[in-house]
């Protein structure tokens, strides 16, 4: 089965993973195909993957844990030989990731130029930070989370502004940092 998202569809190794059992993506693999899986997990599930693994495009323990959580949440199990989900990206997992990325890409296409312009504004703005907000659903938020015990301040320049979290990976490996 050919992958339909642009995210995975242009990568030969991901295409092979979707067709050939011997080409599953496993712990200790590295390369662009691993990076694409990592970033897809971050975009789709808000997965927390170790920055060293992201920087090296390496399928390490945190990537394996993110894959396992993704598969458990969607009950991706090959019942012909498995009883429970594993941390391997095989045919069923890459197909599910591809479907999710295709839906995300379709949403961006529907927004058209407005989404592109919003992306340019977000990337150009030194005051904004793309961060994970563990207290809310969804993978990404555009503001730092409010810390418990810190007064909520409507003005960003007020003296009681909560500290900004450490920047994490944004789509396509961009690093977005905020000025203090």
For the cut 50, the answer to whether the pLDDT of residue 44 exceeds it is yes
Distances (CA, A) of 123 to 27, 43, 69, 127, 141: 32, 16, 30, 10, 14
Please answer whether residues 74 and 92 qualify as being in contact, where contact means their C-beta atoms are separated by less than 8 angstroms.
no
The tens digit of pLDDT for each residue in 48-97 reads 999 999 999 999 999 999 999 999 999 999 888 889 999 999 999 999 99
pLDDT score recorded for residue 108: 59
Cross-strand pairs, 16: none
Query: How far, in Å, CA of 119 to CA of 113, rounded?
Result: 10
pLDDT score recorded for residue 43: 87
Instruction: Give the mean pLDDT of 127-140.
Output: 45
pLDDT score recorded for residue 46: 87
Is residue 114 very low, low, confident or very high in pLDDT (cuts 50, 70, 90)? Answer: low
What are the structural domains, with CATH classification, of the chain?
6-111 (1.10.101.10), 118-180 (no CATH)
Reported pTM: 0.61
Instruction: Give the mean pLDDT of 141-156.
Output: 46
Cross-strand pairs, 89: 25
Instruction: Give the mean pLDDT of 11-38.
Output: 94
The 8-class DSSP code of residue 23 comes to G
Is residue 137 very low, low, confident or very high in pLDDT (cuts 50, 70, 90)? Answer: very low
Phi, psi for residue 58 in degrees, rounded to 5: -115, 135
Q: Which has more pLDDT, 95 or 117? A: 95
pLDDT score recorded for residue 48: 92
pLDDT score recorded for residue 105: 80
Buried b (16+ CB within 10 A) or exposed e, 118-131: eeeeeeeeeebbbb
For the cut 50, the answer to whether the pLDDT of residue 168 exceeds it is no
Q: Which of 16-20, 46-50, 101-105 has the lowest mean pLDDT?
A: 101-105
For the cut 80, the answer to whether the pLDDT of residue 173 exceeds it is no
Give the mean pLDDT of the chain: 74
């Amino acid at each position: 089965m050919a992958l339909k998202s642009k995210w995975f569809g242009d990568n030969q190794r991901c295409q092979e993973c979707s067709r050939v059992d011997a080409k599953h993506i496993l712990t200790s693999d590295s390369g662009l195909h691993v990076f694409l899986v990592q970033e897809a997990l971050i975009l789709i599930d808000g997965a927390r993957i170790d920055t060293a693994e992201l920087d090296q495009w390496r399928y390490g323990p945190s990537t394996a844990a993110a894959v396992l959580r993704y598969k458990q949440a969607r009950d991706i199990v090959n019942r012909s030989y498995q009883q429970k989900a594993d941390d391997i990206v095989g045919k069923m997992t890459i197909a599910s990731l591809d479907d999710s990325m295709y839906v995300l890409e379709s949403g961006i296409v529907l927004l058209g130029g407005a989404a592109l312009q919003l992306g340019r504004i977000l990337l150009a703005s030194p005051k904004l930070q793309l961060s994970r907000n563990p207290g809310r659903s969804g993978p990404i938020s555009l503001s730092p989370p409010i810390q418990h015990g810190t007064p909520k301040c409507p003005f960003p320049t007020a003296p009681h502004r909560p500290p900004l979290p450490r920047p994490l990976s944004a789509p396509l490996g961009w690093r977005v940092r905020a000025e203090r």
